[in-house]
Structure 1
Amino acid sequence: MPLALHALTAGAFGIGVTEFVIMGLLIDVSKDLGVSISAAGLLISGYALGVVVGAPILGMLTGKWSRKTLLMSLMVVFTVGNLACALAPDYWTLMAARVLTAFAHASFFGVGSVVATSLVAPNKKASAIAIMFTGLTVANILGVPFGTWLGQAYGWRSTFFAVTLIGLVALAVIALFVPKDKTTDNQAANSQGALAVLGRRSVLLGLLITVLSWVGVFAGFTYIAPILTQITGFSEAAVSPILLVFGGGLVIGNLAGGWLADRHLVPTIVASLIALSVVLLALTAA
């Protein structure tokens, strides 16, 4: 696979870490900024809102940009946003920095997927996308647990400084290895027309299933650190290894779910949702 593809993987890794790592540092952030754990949890909601709002806005504003220029610009936004998070003097500044960082999230994966498929032969497009998204998977397995450990050991700001460094590295490798591309005349139209698919019933149904199935997971995962330490009785040092287990579960579930869905799509979705409901109910009672 070309080096440019691994450059995209590096960017995906950094974005994955900055999205999820604050979940393991919620207690540290709340103590340092003098806010409640619930208020600190809204920093995750603010990031999610930035992803939802930022993707279509950036899609319309940057439709005529070349893909390499857009990828580099998104990594600049990502890097500056994480540096602002590390230097934030108060809660609301940190919230604004999180929302700014989130603007780069959805757009990067959308544009990156297109670039990834353009780098390989037609029969390797799926593999190219999978390799790019490996960065997101590795972020959950290694990046988030390590970032949580780093923040607990040296302060939560050190984690965002580390992610800023990752952003600089990703920006450099994208600049060096992703080939230049020419802007097509219909690229802007495609970006604006992407919003039109939201009017399709099948797309709305898919979005609704995703939202309703994952809202419970993120409601629990957002507050995983206080749940483990204040309710279950684990030490703060145990949070990182448990996050490592969670990341491993994501990988196994993703691979198994993909294999089963290729063979029995609807039964796999239904069975997954039932299993997820049982697990969340057990978590409530545990």
Structure 2
Amino acid sequence: MKPTISRLLQASRVLHHENPLGLPQKGTIPRFQRGLPQKRPIRDVSHVIAVSSAKGGVGKSTVAANLSLAFARLGHRTGILDVDIFGPSIPTLFSLNDSPRLTPANQLIPLTNYGVKTMSMGYLLPDDNSSVVWRGPMLLKAIQQLLHEVDWGGLDILVLDLPPGTGDTQLSIAQQIVLDGSVIVTTPHTLAVKDAVKGIDMWNKVNVPLLGLVQNMSVFTCPCCNTSTSVFGGADKIRGVCEEHGMDFLGDVPLHMNIGDDGARGKPTVVSEPESDRGRAFVDIARQVGRKIGLSQQ
């Protein structure tokens, strides 16, 4: 193996090693990093926001992708980092599947589509069906390298697409980098809202500002009779959560089949239907977030 190959690329090849879990071999002493990593900014990136949800299946990755595209549409130099090591979605949403190249300084070069620079663990896997079977220390090392070993080439804003939950990944990111804040995505479903509150509590505990809450899949409008229905209940409960926790309600994204279809074909709504009500909803949310973090308005 050439000495210039990134350590993250090396780690991805462990998936096909005879010892995929990285267990210590007989006669060897495992090495563990002691203490917490030092929090520092991501090089050449002015602002970083996290898009998170404590529950899966609420459309967080779709919202994150469309927000990054909305920032780019507003004229900002934008990137998105897929920090979901076990279930990366960005390669599909951005219709990208090439392997990233390396700079002479051994930094990963992002793949770009629709004017947004992207990086994902999915680019380092052999195919879409390959799973990542890693223990915690390997997961945290991969996250550290994705955060600090990518050459973004200068960004106004980087969007982090986090995995669902309130565990190792979220804590590691809060400890390693300077975040401008977190956007929480939920549906109006009672169980999703309950978990959203847990996500709010987590970010408060790690002292990361809460930028606001996005209600996804809020209202379905029948294409035949044009009747609007709140499939998971009204928005009152979401606004109530925002008031209770002193955070802003950033907006509604409707439940529409085109949003899912756009993502599945690798051309998200902000690109494929920018003037639709759903496309404008993402751009409006991006404007609000940009104002909150001091991103210059275009």
TM-score by length of 2: 0.24
The structure whose residues are more often helix, as a share, is 1
Greater share of residues in strand: 2
Question: Which of 1 and 2 has higher RCO (CA within 8 Å, sep 6+)?
Answer: 1
